[in-house]
């Protein structure tokens, strides 16, 4: 039996190859791998002895040779193949152990250059892996050190690697090379700033199996992008509590999107992917109190995201509630001690830096995938006009800004009422706009008086202005652009309401 070993990641390679040699396997190896093995007393044959050719072009060509690929691709039960091997003096290779140049690790380094990335595109390695995987009927192929042990056990037991194992390893290899190439193609596509190319080569790595999906009868898993931003639920560090569920991950992602809207201390409570309470304040505890008081009923069982450190005082208030998850950039030691008293609460640490990096968002539909930029656009990107007679006061501006930041993240049709650093009413996911307004107004009750109303899209009729006015709303922010805008403006003026047009809508379905 002959094996070819050529690995960049040399973890576990010495004991593994030593065991192969002990089992009577003849091992061929490339430069660096050969050196490590020989330095550790493992007997190996250099690749050049087999190819009769030196490794050239700084290692760009070392295994790319018919003496190697003939040995990998020849079918053992094909007489013609065997005759050709004999004619050219090629020895079959039965086991391939290869892992690739560290492309991902290279491009992850802050100081890596384009040239570093190009040099770390492995050519010979994938070629061997693919050849061996194609010919898995006769060849076993290992790309992952965690498979070394299983193969040694099979060799010890039966002197061969079982067919089922060879097939499983071959499938793994093609997944691996496809993911490797996806990373390279994405890197180069980004480098030439091509936005939505003719084919999309995405790759994700499994982070965890989930107990179930949205419902217990749905199987599910969580995959993360190979270069996931630090500011993401995929990169969160769990400090405490039960494993995250499918719904937890979705909700936590929604909470993070909202909290990143704010520079000052802000707290966001999320239920079923909609914010039920958002509070801002001079301190963390003040922001939390406002988020809680925004809707003390819905917050029960919620997901809470902070953009500041959670301190002891805030932790004690959180401790009074049943909460699924608390997310923050940091927790003080004494806050952690308080929160950890509850066994099941999940505490997540998320690096809030890099929050502004634009990401693509994808949602699957049956038979396809929709891809779009994240909606990272705020009031600073909008063309703000004030069509009403009255302009907002300073306090109204503050409330309008809060309503606008939050309504963007509420399922459409969405209406948010905000007042003095707090959302006071959230109407989410309604099939007509005035319906969303009525829900938000009802929830706000007395607090609707003097509040600001944000609407994710324009008013098709003046009925929302009418409902808002009757509830005591004094300021409105909405995109404008309806053919019936004039009706809404007139109605606002009639009630002395100030109205801001943004020219930019924020649908969220």
Ligand X SMILES: NC(=O)c1ncn([C@@H]2O[C@H](COP(=O)(O)O)[C@@H](O)[C@H]2O)c1NC=O
Residue 125 contacts ligand X per CB under 6 A? yes
Which of 60, 88 has the CB closer to ligand X?
60
Which of 61, 321 has the CB closer to ligand X?
61
64, 67, 73, 75 alpha-carbon torsion, rounded to 10°: 180
Beta-carbon neighbour count of residue 170 at 10 Å?
A: 22
Is 319 a residue of the active site?
Answer: no
Residue 12 contacts ligand X per CB under 6 A? no
Residue 32 contacts ligand X per CB under 6 A? yes
Residue 159 contacts ligand X per CB under 6 A? no
Q: How far is the CB of 96 from ligand X (least distance, A)?
A: 10
Distance, CA of 96 to CA of 132 (rounded, Å): 7
- Piece of 59-67, 229-237, 344-352, 393-401 that binds ligand X (CB under 6 A): 59-67
Distance, CA of 264 to CA of 426 (rounded, Å): 21
Residue 275 contacts ligand X per CB under 6 A? no
Q: How far is the CB of 27 from ligand X (least distance, A)?
A: 12
| Rounded (to 5) percent helix, strand, coil in the chain | 40, 20, 40
Q: Which two tokens stand for residue 149?
A: 């042990």
The one among 59, 378, 429, 460 contacting ligand X by CB under 6 A: 59
Residue 60 contacts ligand X per CB under 6 A? yes
The one among 51, 63, 443, 474 contacting ligand X by CB under 6 A: 63
Residue 66 contacts ligand X per CB under 6 A? no
- Piece of 94-102, 152-160, 169-177, 465-473 that binds ligand X (CB under 6 A): 94-102
The one among 27, 28, 120, 122 contacting ligand X by CB under 6 A: 122
Catalytic: which of 69, 134, 207, 319? 134
Cα distances (Å, whole numbers) of residue 424 to 122, 268, 450, 499, 501: 57, 13, 11, 19, 21
Q: Assign 464 to helix, strand or coil.
A: helix
* Contact of 301 with 320, CB cutoff 8 Å: no
> Residue with structure tokens 């004991």?
15
Which of 46, 213 has the CB closer to ligand X?
46
* Contact of 28 with 2, CB cutoff 8 Å: yes
Which of 129, 161 has the CB closer to ligand X?
129
The one among 37, 70, 93, 101 contacting ligand X by CB under 6 A: 101
* Contact of 429 with 276, CB cutoff 8 Å: no
> Residue with structure tokens 């634009």?
358
DSSP string, 302-341: EEEEESS-B-HHHHHHHHTS-EEEEEES-B-HHHHHHHTT
Q: How far is the CB of 137 from ligand X (least distance, A)?
A: 23
Give me the sign of the Cα torsion angle 49, 53, 59, 61.
negative
Catalytic: which of 35, 272, 312, 340? 272
Q: Between β-strands 452-455 and 2-7, what pairing exists: parallel, antiparallel or unpaired?
A: unpaired
The one among 1, 14, 61, 398 contacting ligand X by CB under 6 A: 61
Q: How far is the CB of 128 from ligand X (least distance, A)?
A: 7
Which of 59, 450 has the CB closer to ligand X?
59
Is 134 a residue of the active site?
Answer: yes
Residue 8 contacts ligand X per CB under 6 A? yes
Sheet of 323-328: strand order equals: 237-240, 346-349, 323-328, 302-306, 266-271, 274-280
Q: How far is the CB of 358 from ligand X (least distance, A)?
A: 33
Which of 100, 325 has the CB closer to ligand X?
100
* Contact of 302 with 270, CB cutoff 8 Å: yes
Which of 59, 150 has the CB closer to ligand X?
59
Distance, CA of 25 to CA of 477 (rounded, Å): 75
The one among 71, 124, 226, 265 contacting ligand X by CB under 6 A: 124
- Piece of 121-129, 160-168, 265-273, 393-401 that binds ligand X (CB under 6 A): 121-129
Which of 107, 489 has the CB closer to ligand X?
107
Neighbouring-strand partners of residue 133: none
Q: Assign 363 to helix, strand or coil.
A: strand
Distance, CA of 406 to CA of 455 (rounded, Å): 10
Which of 63, 280 has the CB closer to ligand X?
63
Give how many residues touch ligand X by CB under 6 A: 21
* Contact of 91 with 2, CB cutoff 8 Å: yes
- Piece of 97-105, 329-337, 344-352, 396-404 that binds ligand X (CB under 6 A): 97-105
The one among 4, 16, 33, 412 contacting ligand X by CB under 6 A: 33
Residue 145 contacts ligand X per CB under 6 A? no
Q: How far is the CB of 183 from ligand X (least distance, A)?
A: 15
**Pick from 248, 242, 263, 423: nearest CA to 344:** 242
Q: How far is the CB of 32 from ligand X (least distance, A)?
A: 2
Residue 62 contacts ligand X per CB under 6 A? yes
- Residues that are catalytic: 134, 272
The residues of the shown chain that bind ligand X, judged by CB under 6 A, are 6-8, 30-33, 59-64, 98-101, 122-125
């Amino acid at each position: 039996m002959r094996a070819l070993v050529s690995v960049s990641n040399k973890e576990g390679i010495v004991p593994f190859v030593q065991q192969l040699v002990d089992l009577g396997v003849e091992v061929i190896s490339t430069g660096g791998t050969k050196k490590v093995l020989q330095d550790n007393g493992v007997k190996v044959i250099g690749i050049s002895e087999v190819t009769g050719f030196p490794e050239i072009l700084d290692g760009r060509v070392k295994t790319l040779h018919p003496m190697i690929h003939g040995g990998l691709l020849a079918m053992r039960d094909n007489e013609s193949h065997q005759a050709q091997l004999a004619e050219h003096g090629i020895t079959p290779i039965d086991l391939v152990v290869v892992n690739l140049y560290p492309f991902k690790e290279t491009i992850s380094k802050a100081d890596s250059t384009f040239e570093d990335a190009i040099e770390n595109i492995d050519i010979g390695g994938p070629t061997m892996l693919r050849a061996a995987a194609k010919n898995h009927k006769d060849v076993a192929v290992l790309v992952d050190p965690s498979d070394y042990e299983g193969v040694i056990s099979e060799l010890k037991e039966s002197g061969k690697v079982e067919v089922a194992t060879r097939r499983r390893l071959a499938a793994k290899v093609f997944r691996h090379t496809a993911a490797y190439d996806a990373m390279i193609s994405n890197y180069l596509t980004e480098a030439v700033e091509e936005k939505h190319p003719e084919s999309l080569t995405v790759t994700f790595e499994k982070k965890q199996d989930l107990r179930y999906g949205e419902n217990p009868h749905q199987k599910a898993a969580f995959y993360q992008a190979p270069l996931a931003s630090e500011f993401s639920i995929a990169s969160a560090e769990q400090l405490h509590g039960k494993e995250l569920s499918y719904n937890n991950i979705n909700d936590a992602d929604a909470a993070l999107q909202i909290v990143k809207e704010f520079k000052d201390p802000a707290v966001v409570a999320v239920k079923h992917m909609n914010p039920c309470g958002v509070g801002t304040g001079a301190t963390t505890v003040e922001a939390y109190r406002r988020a809680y008081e925004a809707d003390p009923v819905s917050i029960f069982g919620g997901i809470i995201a902070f953009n500041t450190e959670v301190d002891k005082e805030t932790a004690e208030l959180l401790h009074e509630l049943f909460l699924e998850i608390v997310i923050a950039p940091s927790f003080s030691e004494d806050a952690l001690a308080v929160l950890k008293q509850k066994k099941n609460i999940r505490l997540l640490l998320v690096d809030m830096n890099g929050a502004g990096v634009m990401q693509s968002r994808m949602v699957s539909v049956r038979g396809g995938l929709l891809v779009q930029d994240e909606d990272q656009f705020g009031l600073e990107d909008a063309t703000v006009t004030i069509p009403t007679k009255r302009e907002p006061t300073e306090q109204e501006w503050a409330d309008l800004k809060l309503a606008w930041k939050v309504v963007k993240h509420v399922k459409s049709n969405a209406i948010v009422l905000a007042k003095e650093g707090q959302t006071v009413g959230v109407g989410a996911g309604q099939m007509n706009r005035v319906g969303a307004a009525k829900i938000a107004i009802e929830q706000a009750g007395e607090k609707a008086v003097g509040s600001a109303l944000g609407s994710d899209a324009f008013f098709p009729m003046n009925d929302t202005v009418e409902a808002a006015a009757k509830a005591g709303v004094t300021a409105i922010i909405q995109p404008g652009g309806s053919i019936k805008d004039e009706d809404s403006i007139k109605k606002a003026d009639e009630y002395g309401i100030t109205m801001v047009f943004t020219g930019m809508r924020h649908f969220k379905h």
